[in-house]
Structure 1
Amino acid sequence: MVERAKELAELGGLLERHRVVGVIGARQVGKSTLVAEYLESMDCPTHAFDLEDPQDMARLAEPMLALQDLKGLVVIDEVQRYPDLFPVLRVLADRRPSPARFLVLGSASPELLRQSSESLAGRIFYHELGGFSLEEVGVGLADRLWLRGGLPRSFLARSHKESFENRIGYVRTFLEKDLPQLGVNVSAVTMRRFWTMLAHWHGQIWNSSELARSFGVADTTVRSYLDQLTSALVVRQLLPWHENISKRQVKSPKVYIADSGVLHALLNLPERADLEAHPKSGASWEGFVLDQIIRHLGARSEECFFWATHAGAELDLLVVRGRKRLGFEIKRTTAPKVTPSMRHALADLKLDRLDVLHAGDHTFPLAENIRAVSIKHLLNDIAPL
């Protein structure tokens, strides 16, 4: 077992402050397990419904009758399967005094769960749960986390072979079962081709025209596919930052497969040696470290950007919260150096500091307001926001 103390504390705090809390995350990231662990510590009545269970679906055939008399905490898992629940939850959450709070779990973004955003606007707070993080498994298992990814079943598998087979099955189930349940009406074969093509594009700036030509469809079609996978929380779009400076800046997002283990499954890389020899090894490590930085900082997706100019200056990650601006470069090397691009980013973006994450053993200064930070010391040397 991997302890998720930080996530449990976050969940407890949210339930104290909000009448309805939504825990969202991709399939198999551990939402149900986390909530079950949280419920064990509760000293109030709890009621759980799993909408993949036919008996629970039958219990909720008349949702108002089933829920209105419940007290304490009501948990509804796989809520995306029953969007008609959201108007009922709005009515129940508005009662004064309210005898119950509601915790809903879903495998999609709030944008895809349209009914919740319409019916529970201003009443629900969403918390996105990812797979295991470096903070949870420990830096000593960083290489394993990179290779296998953070999906619990994959990370905890007894062997690399078992882990890889688990991820291959995950991809198939996601395409054949989960996406149709989310209302995505694209064949599993087509989406598998696109997802695999996107894996080869991992860490690059999105180019609709080029992918559309490669895929043989219209620009708008590949953009729709990208947004659907993003809404299903298996792809990350890192948005570009625009600064009012006299330089032409890139305005398309960067795309990443959200979980490094799923990326390696799509690229057919079961072993560490296969990964090290692949052309996408560096991009894979960049995406993995970027995810760990964002999660350790506690930054929201709307606070995270990349920056690039047409002249070649770029920054892998820019985190903006209030007046604070933090820059991060990710280099899979043991001897990072200051580059002209870093100096341009530091000056043009008025960064508080710029950290260069690297694969070596030590953290040390590189220049004024620029330092090299070892991935091994990320948790200690970079303070959360």
Structure 2
Amino acid sequence: MFIPRNIESSILNLISKFPIISLTGPRQSGKTTLLKNMFPNYQYVSLDYIDNREFAINDPRGFLEKYDKYVIIDEAQRVPQIFNYLQGKVDNDQIMGQYILSGSQNFLLLQSITQSLAGRVAILRLLPFDFSELNAQQLLENNYLTHCFKGFYPSIYDRKIDSPFFYDSYIESYVERDIRTIINVKDLSLFRLFLKLCAGRAGQLLNLNAVANECGISSNTARSWLSILETSYIVFVLPPYFQNINKRLIKAPKLYFWDTGLLSFLLDIKHSDQLESHYLRGNIFENLVIAEMFKTNYHRLQQRNFYFYRDSNQNEIDLMIQNAAKFDLVEIKSSKTINTEFFKGIQYFEKHMPNLIQNKYLIFGGDDSYKRQEVNVLGWKSSSKILE
């Protein structure tokens, strides 16, 4: 079952404006399926296969003669030297939409693009399903805890794979394949521990030195491993907002996972019922909503800037969405019952920085949407409507 993706309109818009489209994202996010469905008349070649890879490595000109136009090249980062030849070919041919490059190792793919194809390629990201994509197919459940546990990877919905089995296999293949390709991790069990420690800090300020100490690795190693997790679309960070822009670059960000199913698996959650009383339920729900905002932002090519706010007195706004010089303020609460305490952060911000506020929102674990104390209260399913 193919589920349409919101990014399709952006791809169709850009393919007539650039000779090369690059679609990156985590493994199993549906890149190949999407491209084959959108462009059935394009040739398809995967550099994951050793014969294709050796052809591209040993005879790049011959490879591009065979695959000369309207081609999807999957796992393109496996042969980085082909990018130099692609540059000359697209410059010579001047055909828009001539090649579509797909890859799951964002670091290697973007490194090759920036070195050889700058200005010739439009870069897009396909992430696991967002709420609206599932909702359009009537696959969005009524209880957010189900999705926190189940996650949003297409295989779980297309092939009805049990989440724990999927994520167990996903981590094995991810660690064995991608991590060893990018960096030399000698002790895989130590890396898995690092991954679990990051999961335990989802939705919290990231103290990388503390993670390194607990894991028994150096701070530099922890920094390197976190960077790989980011470029492989396992985790992302949310920067803090300060009116002094330099402070945004030096204060601790908050850590989140792109997929709450993977996060729940790393936290050893065996069933969605466990989440009801789990000590990190609030953090996991916050992760669910903020990941939804980021996914929607990428899938719809909105290019919004996101921050959080926290001062020395622990006054906090979970999410700030920049609109020119002003911000939409978003508080996120997992409870299905609204409490007046939930509005304290917004009220504090409004009292001290009213000129920065455009809209005020509270996203909670219930279904209803209404207005209270001049704040737009949204059920979790409606959270991405903020970006519409």
Tell me if TM exceeds 0.5.
Answer: yes
How big is each residue's C-alpha offset from its partner over 1:199-240, in whole Å with a ceiling of 9 and x where there is no partner? 111111111222122122222221221111111111111112
Shift of 1:163: 2.3
User: How far apart, in 2, do the equivalents of 1:8 and 1:19 lie?
Assistant: 17
How big is each residue's C-alpha offset from its partner over 1:88-133, in whole Å with a ceiling of 9 and x where there is no partner? 1111221253376111111133576412211112222211111111
The aligned length equals 375
The 1:288–1:187 alpha-carbon spacing in structure 2 relative to 1, beyond 3 Å, is same
The 1:229–1:300 alpha-carbon spacing in structure 2 relative to 1, beyond 3 Å, is farther
Q: Is the 8 A contact 2:366 2:380 kept in 1?
A: yes
User: How far apart, in 2, do the equivalents of 1:171 and 1:70 lie?
Assistant: 33
Q: Is the 8 A contact 1:107 1:232 kept in 2?
A: yes
2:81 aligned residue = 84
The 1:70–1:187 alpha-carbon spacing in structure 2 relative to 1, beyond 3 Å, is same
User: How far apart, in 1, do the equivalents of 2:221 and 2:68 lie?
Assistant: 46
1:341 aligned residue = 345
Shift of 1:48: 1.5
The 1:296–1:122 alpha-carbon spacing in structure 2 relative to 1, beyond 3 Å, is same
Q: Is the 8 A contact 1:71 1:100 kept in 2?
A: no
How big is each residue's C-alpha offset from its partner over 1:264-317, in whole Å with a ceiling of 9 and x where there is no partner? 111121211122232122211111111223333546677122121111111111
User: How far apart, in 2, do the equivalents of 1:70 and 1:93 lie?
Assistant: 12
- Structure 1 range deviating more: 30-39 or 94-103: 94-103
Return the match for 1:49 from 34, 45, 55.
45
Q: Which runs of 5+ in 2 are unaligned?
A: none
User: How far apart, in 2, do the equivalents of 1:299 and 1:18 lie?
Assistant: 16
Alignment of 1:324-363 (within 5 A): 324-336=326-338, 337=340, 338-346=342-350, 347-348=352-353, 350-363=356-369
Alignment of 1:104-119 (within 5 A): 104-110=101-107, 113-119=110-116
Q: Is the 8 A contact 1:72 1:99 kept in 2?
A: no
The 1:325–1:248 alpha-carbon spacing in structure 2 relative to 1, beyond 3 Å, is closer
1:200 aligned residue = 200
User: How far apart, in 2, do the equivalents of 1:299 and 1:317 lie?
Assistant: 19
Q: Is the 8 A contact 2:15 2:97 kept in 1?
A: no
1:273 aligned residue = 273
Shift of 1:248: 11
How big is each residue's C-alpha offset from its partner over 1:8-36, in whole Å with a ceiling of 9 and x where there is no partner? 22222221221111111111111111111
Q: Is the 8 A contact 2:71 2:100 kept in 1?
A: yes
Q: Is the 8 A contact 2:238 2:253 kept in 1?
A: yes
Secondary structure of 2:376 counterpart: strand
How big is each residue's C-alpha offset from its partner over 1:53-76, in whole Å with a ceiling of 9 and x where there is no partner? 123224323122221465541111
1:382 aligned residue = 386
How big is each residue's C-alpha offset from its partner over 1:224-264, in whole Å with a ceiling of 9 and x where there is no partner? 2111111111111111222149x999811111122111111
Counterpart check, 1:124 vs 2:124:
no
Secondary structure of 2:165 counterpart: helix
Counterpart check, 1:235 vs 2:235:
yes
Shift of 1:193: 0.8
Return the match for 2:156 from 154, 157, 172.
154
The 1:218–1:110 alpha-carbon spacing in structure 2 relative to 1, beyond 3 Å, is closer
The 1:244–1:96 alpha-carbon spacing in structure 2 relative to 1, beyond 3 Å, is same
Q: Which runs of 5+ in 1 are unaligned?
A: none
- Structure 1 range deviating more: 106-115 or 127-136: 106-115
Q: Is the 8 A contact 2:106 2:232 kept in 1?
A: yes
Aligned amino acid, residue 202 of structure 2 = H
Give TM-score scaled by structure 2 length: 0.88
Aligned amino acid, residue 97 of structure 1 = Q
Counterpart check, 1:103 vs 2:108:
no
| Percent identity between the two aligned chains | 23
Shift of 1:332: 0.7
Counterpart check, 1:314 vs 2:316:
yes
Counterpart check, 1:170 vs 2:170:
yes
User: How far apart, in 1, do the equivalents of 2:328 and 2:70 lie?
Assistant: 39
2:8 aligned residue = 8
Aligned amino acid, residue 114 of structure 2 = S
Shift of 1:82: 1.2
The 1:240–1:87 alpha-carbon spacing in structure 2 relative to 1, beyond 3 Å, is same
Q: CA RMSD in A?
A: 2.6
The 1:90–1:321 alpha-carbon spacing in structure 2 relative to 1, beyond 3 Å, is farther
Shift of 1:145: 3.0
Q: Is the 8 A contact 2:90 2:98 kept in 1?
A: yes
